[in-house]
């Protein structure tokens, strides 16, 4: 995915290699730097890690809900803001955090230097809003570490080869941290957040959710891509590819946390790793489409040409000559997607389109599910017992997802969690 630019001279290489052994990357999420008291708390933790003999690189997110607030601000000016300007705006959130944290660390008597993604040299492709990292220049960071400084890097951002600022997609500071840990060969990438680790369901939804001491990259990737916001899924993918141990911990206490690592024999063989909820999608139905070969191909290739990502799709065999096609898209893409979908509907002479933006996708994830039958039935019964209607279903070897009424998503998660007896043992 990315190359690393290393220092050239042999002498520096030797020196930095010796030093590399002790590099620790820590990432603090938005909730951990939401106010000055919390920034000072992070500063104390970073300084403590440094004084234990580590060389510390810290990645920080924008304070609290800053990114959402900036998105709202842009929305007050334009329905569809220019994507380059959007990245220019969103990258400022993280810049605030790094500067404040550097000052707080100075106050504690340690030397620290803050850097934007641009200054580090995190080179990405040109996809504004969802850029992929292509190359990271480790030289400046290593030089600053060698001078005894704590290096503080703004998460979620990079620059293109043409010097344009880009962002890495929501939750992208996790990706910055894991990518830096990989190029710096850090011993571990610590992700500090506002819960004690990764649980088998969002602990804010299920009060007796169980914390997992360890989880495999594959399970975490699946949970993250299905809605477990605690880690950005692409960051876990990069962690897996480059074998970076990721430790998720709480920035407000010293609880042990969850280690995300390679699957190994010692891991508990569980059927279900977790239940997730995604409330960020919307359902679109194309009504009364002629039911004949080639229609779906035409609709979805038009949508793909518009660069719109589709998630679940359902289409039934009709008894008439017409059928409806439903699918889900990310709600954040909806405004951009609708004109494209309308055109696709017109192209196949459909009657029109219908949008439901109050849906929730509930998923059950488990690598151990592959060889078990009966899991889907049990999940559907949990929903039926609560009178929750299933609007769409999709399955793979390691997950089952159901779309339900958005108002009942959390209840659905709790019902399934209970049905599979995933709660804390008393
Ligand atoms: P940060 O600001 O630190 O990046 P996020 O809000 O992105 O934090 O992620 C942490 C949140 O993820 C938690 O507050 C929790 O509500 C949510 N979450 C969702 N699913 C899970 C899960 N399975 N385990 C732990 N937390 C989860
Ligand atoms: N601030 C960005 C966001 O809210 C990146 C991050 O927090 O990881 O998505
Ligand atoms: Mg996050």
pLDDT, averaged in runs of 10, over the chain (426 residues): 50 44 92 98 98 97 98 95 97 98 98 98 96 97 97 98 97 98 97 98 98 95 96 98 98 97 76 94 95 90 89 84 93 91 93 96 88 87 98 92 97 98 86
| Local structure of residue 191 (DSSP, 8 states) | E
Helices (H), 189-316: 217-225, 233-241, 295-305
Q: Name the pairing type of β-strands 165-167 and 3-5.
A: unpaired
Predicted confidence at residue 2, as pLDDT, reads: 60
> What is residue 20's predicted lDDT score, i.e. its pLDDT?
43
Among 267, 153, 283, 152, which Cα is nearest to 219's? 267
3-state helix, strand, coil in the chain (%, to 5): 40, 25, 35
Q: Give me the residues paired with residue 362 across strands.
A: 277, 402
Q: What does the pLDDT read at residue 17?
A: 46
Q: Is 165 in the pocket of ligand 1 (CB under 6 A)?
A: no
Distance CA 255, CA 264 (A): 23
Q: How far is the CA of 236 from the centre of ligand 1 (A)?
A: 14
In 3D space, the residue among 68, 417, 44 whose CA is nearest the CA of residue 251 turns out to be: 44
Q: What is the pLDDT of residue 266?
A: 65
Distance 233 CA to ligand 3 centre (A): 10
Residue 172 CA: nearest ligand 2 atom is 8
Structure-token match 């960071």, residue found: 141
Using a 6 Å cutoff on CB, does residue 274 contact ligand 1? Answer: yes
Q: For the chain, which domains are there?
A: 3-194 (3.40.1160.10)
Name the token pair of 84. Answer: 């380059």
Beta bridge partners of 157: 167
93 in contact with ligand 2, CB cutoff 6 A = yes
Q: Which helix (H) or strand (E) holds 285?
A: strand 281-290
> Across-strand partners of 310?
329
61 lines ligand 2 (CB under 6 A): yes
Mapped onto helix, strand or coil, the DSSP state of residue 399 is: strand
Is residue 63 lining ligand 2, measured as CB closer than 6 Å?
Answer: no
């Amino acid at each position: 995915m990315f190359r690393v630019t290393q220092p050239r001279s042999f002498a520096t290489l030797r020196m930095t290699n010796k030093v590399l052994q002790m590099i620790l990357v820590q990432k603090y999420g938005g909730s951990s730097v939401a106010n000055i008291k919390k920034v000072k708390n992070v500063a104390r933790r970073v300084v403590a890690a440094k004084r234990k003999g580590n060389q510390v690189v810290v990645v920080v997110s924008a304070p609290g809900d800053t990114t959402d607030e900036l998105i709202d601000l842009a929305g007050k000016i334009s329905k569809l803001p220019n994507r380059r300007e959007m990245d220019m705006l969103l990258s400022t959130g993280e810049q605030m955090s790094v500067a404040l944290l550097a000052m707080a660390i100075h106050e504690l008597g340690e030397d620290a230097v803050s850097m934007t993604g641009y200054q580090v040299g995190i080179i990405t492709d040109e996809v504004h809003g969802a850029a992929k990292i292509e190359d990271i220049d480790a030289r400046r960071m290593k030089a600053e570490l060698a001078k005894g400084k704590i290096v503080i890097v703004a998460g979620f951002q990079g620059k293109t080869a043409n010097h344009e600022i880009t962002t890495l997609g929501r939750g992208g500071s996790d990706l910055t941290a894991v990518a830096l840990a990989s190029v710096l060969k850090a011993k571990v990438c610590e992700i500090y957040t506002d819960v004690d680790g990764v649980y088998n369901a969002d602990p804010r939804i299920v009060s007796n959710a169980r914390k997992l001491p360890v989880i495999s990259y594959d399970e975490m990737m699946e949970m993250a891509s299905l809605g477990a916001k605690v880690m950005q899924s692409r960051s876990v993918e990069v962690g897996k590819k480059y074998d970076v141990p990721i430790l998720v911990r709480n920035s407000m206490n010293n609880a042990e946390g969850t280690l995300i690592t390679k699957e190994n024999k010692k891991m508990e063989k569980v059927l279900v790793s977790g239940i997730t909820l995604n409330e960020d999608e919307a359902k679109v139905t194309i009504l009364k489409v002629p039911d004949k070969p080639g229609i779906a191909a035409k609709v979805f290739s038009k949508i793909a040409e518009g660069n719109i990502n589709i998630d679940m799709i359902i289409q039934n065999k009709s008894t008439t000559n017409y059928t409806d096609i439903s699918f889900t898209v990310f709600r954040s893409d909806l405004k951009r997607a609708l004109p494209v979908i309308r055109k696709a509907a017109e192209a196949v002479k459909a009657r029109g389109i219908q949008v439901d933006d109050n849906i929730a996708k509930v998923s059950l994830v488990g690598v151990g599910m592959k060889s078990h039958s009966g899991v889907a039935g049990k999940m559907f019964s949990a929903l039926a017992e609560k009178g929750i209607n299933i609007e769409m279903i999709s399955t793979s070897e390691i997950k089952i997802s159901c779309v339900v009424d958005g108002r009942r998503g959390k209840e659905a998660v709790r019902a399934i969690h209970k049905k599979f007896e995933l709660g804390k043992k008393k």
